[in-house]
Structures are given as C-alpha cells and as structure tokens.
Structure 1
Amino acid sequence: MNMPIVRPLALLLSGVALWGATPAVAECTRAPVRVNLPKQRMDERIQQLAHLTGCFMEVEPALLADREAPRVRGKLTAREALYLSLRGSGLEAARYKGHWRIDRRQQERFARRIETLRATTAAQEERDAISHLRATGVRHTMRHVEKAVPREVREQAHLDVKKRIRYNEQLDGVARRIGTPPAPLPSGWVAAVTAPATR
C-alpha cells in the first residue's frame, strides 16, 4: 500500500511553509488517530502530524529551529496531538481557514498593545493628566497581562477565547483609566444601523 508522502510546500515571498499530506487529504480529520511519536526535532514532529492527521500546518520554519517536541502517544485528535507537541515551546497553534497555523501571533499582539499603553501611561503621567497612583495601578495590570499571556501559551500551546477576551478587557480598562480609547475593532466590523428616534 502506498503511503502519502509529506513534503514542505514553500509559500513564495513569505518565508512560510505549509506541510501537509500529498496527495492532499480531502479534509483535516477531526477523529482521533493513533499517535506514537518519540522525542524529536519540532520540524520533524510538525511534518509527522501533518502526515498522520491529513491537516496542513502553516509555520515559519525559523520558529521551529532549536526546538524539540516531547514524546506523545495515545489516541488523539489533531488538536490534542498538536497542543501536546507544542506545549512548553512558547509557540501557539490555532485553526485558520481549514488548516493549522503555528506562530506567536497572540503573544506579539498583546506585547505591542502593552508597549503602546505603557508609553501612553508615561506620557500622561509626565504631563499630570493622571496621578502617580493611577499610573502605578495600570502598570501593575499591564505587567500581569504581559506575564500571563506567554505563560498560558507555554502551558497550553494556545490562548483560549475566554482568556483572550479577559486579557483584552483588562487592557481596555487600562486604556480608559489613562484616557485613551480602547483598541480599534477588527477590520470589516460594521456597526448595527439603528433607526433615528421619532418624536
């Protein structure tokens, strides 16, 4: 019986690889599969998981360099096997348009937002727009989120929706306390149209 061959497919101009089974499986399986993988290099693990599950895995190969995946065994879904493989690595896995994307996107987004809020806090405090006590309080909140997000990712290999919402709400609170609007809504968001009030 011929086994599908796993081979990296380079995405031009992006430095990103998509690994998947060739010939392509109709869909990434959601059913558990038998997994028995030894401790190995992370790039080898991602290729093997793509082969076992039929799921395409999008990742920048440089992110996998010098990382090792632990031994993983059992009857696992693609999600479980991927999360167990990435746990402790600092990398995140998320479903995206029918395939898995492995990166540090959520951590980077939170880090950028905290950096902006921190700079704004310093500027607001310097011109006495907020008190030192308030600045100290919001810095404490920012440090909490700054430490919690990478810790959650290391422990789970993703940032679940509830925690993502909670941390965003905490940073929205910081923005309000220092006198800046919350982060902009995602592109494509359209406010509901309301009828003008009648007299």
Structure 2
Amino acid sequence: MTRFYLAALALGSATAFAAPAAAECNRAPAAYAMPAQRLDQAVQQLAHISGCFVKMDPAMVADRRAPALKGRYRPEEALARLVRGTGYTAHSTSEGLAFDGDLLAVTMSQARALRTAVQTHARAGHLSPAQATRLRATLTQVERTVPRQVNAQGMLTPAQKRDAITKLDAVRSAVGPVEDARGWAAFKRAA
C-alpha cells in the first residue's frame, strides 16, 4: 500500500502536500469528487489524486474552507477552483503546483504605496492635476480589477498579471521609486 505523507520543506513554514512517493505529477484532467472541507485537507486530497506536489504555507489556510469539487479538471484548474473566493491564487510550477497567498496583498500594497506617492508628488507640484488624476484612475482600475479576477478565478492568468504589472509600473515611472511594498520585485519576477 502506498503511503501518503505531508512533507515539510526546508523553506520555513512552507509545506508541500505530496502524492505517493513514486508518483509523478499528472497534468491531465482527473476526476474529483471532494466534499466541502477545510482548505488544507482539500489541497492534500488534490495532491493525492493528481500526483502533484503543492507548495503552500499552512498558516495561510488555517481557517479557510474549500468548496466541494466535482468534475474533471487539470490539477491547476482544480486548485484554482479550491482557492476561488479566498483571495489566494494558484499556479503550475515545474515541480507541481504552488499556492500564492500573497498575490492580492502584494498587489494592493504596491497600489497603496503608489497612491501615496502620487498624492505626495501632486501636493509638491511635481505632477499636474491632470497627470495625478490619470495616475489615480490607473491605480483604481488595478485595485478593482485584480481582486475581482482573483476571487472569480482563483488565479490571475499570465496576461492579467502582466497587465497589472504594466499599469503599476507606469505609475511607478511617473512618480519615481517607491518602497518595494510586500515583495513587489519577487511578484514581478514570477510573472
């Protein structure tokens, strides 16, 4: 009988839910018939069914619930459905799957830092009122769109992520450097 296990990674509190030791991540659609349950349990079940490792921080999901999952899905689709509505996202990696708890927080933190910079530059007269209005509108668009996409899809597509980065970087180029709010540089590298 194959044993399933929960392997702790050497990366602090990051955890990988592992599939059978000899299994390989199967990217093909598989049948899922999972009840609504704790998110950590659902992710572990997904790992067992798909054979894919799922990297995540268990502290992020300690109090979260996953909806029932019934149907045939590729592993990344199944994980995206499990995290939909939580503000978290999921994506494929070369090793399996990863659970991104900070995507929404990082994006919103960067937008807030840029909004403060726009306000500061506008008050100092470094931006015209029209420029400041355009930059604020761009930030508002990101602040409304990204949470809606993350909550609706459980992920951002690569195109949606690039779009958010492009818009926030356009504001950043207008106001100059701002603090690397909550891992913005790492977020951009992963895009």
Number of residue equivalences? 183
Post-superposition offset of 1:147: 2.1
Once structures 1 and 2 are overlaid, which stretch shifts more, 62-71 or 109-118? Answer: 109-118
4+ residue runs over 6 A deviation:
181-187
2:69 aligned with 1:72: yes
2:157 aligned with 1:160: yes
Number of the residue aligned with 1:192? none
Number of the residue aligned with 1:18? 16
| TM-score, scaled relative to structure 1 | 0.81
2:98 aligned with 1:108: no
Post-superposition offset of 1:24: 3.6
Give the helix-richer structure, 1 or 2: 2
Pick the structure with greater CA Rg.
Answer: 1
Distance 2:95 2:51 in 1: 11
Number of the residue aligned with 2:181? none
Q: Please tell me the residue identity of whatever aligns with 1:169.
A: T
Post-superposition offset of 1:13: 5.5
2:63 aligned with 1:63: no
Q: Please tell me the residue identity of whatever aligns with 1:84.
A: R
Post-superposition offset of 1:115: 2.8
2:176 aligned with 1:180: yes
Distance 1:133 1:31 in 2: 51
Post-superposition offset of 1:179: 4.3
Once structures 1 and 2 are overlaid, which stretch shifts more, 82-91 or 53-62? Answer: 82-91
Identify unmatched segments of 5+ residues in structure 2. 179-183
Distance 1:109 1:51 in 2: 30
Post-superposition offset of 1:18: 0.7
Percent sequence identity over aligned pairs = 31
| Conservation of the 8 A alpha-carbon contact between 1:19 and 1:58 | yes
| Conservation of the 8 A alpha-carbon contact between 2:117 and 2:175 | no
Identify unmatched segments of 5+ residues in structure 1. 188-199
| Conservation of the 8 A alpha-carbon contact between 1:5 and 1:51 | no
| TM-score, scaled relative to structure 2 | 0.84
Number of the residue aligned with 1:8? 6
Q: How does 1:7-156 map to 2 (within 5 A)?
A: 7-12=5-10, 14-25=12-23, 27-156=24-153
Distance 1:153 1:100 in 2: 17
Please, what is the CA RMSD of the aligned residues?
2.4
Post-superposition offset of 1:17: 0.9
Post-superposition offset of 1:41: 0.9
Post-superposition offset of 1:149: 1.0
CA deviations over 1:45-64 (Å, ceiling 9, x no partner) = 01100000000011111111
Distance 1:128 1:97 in 2: 48
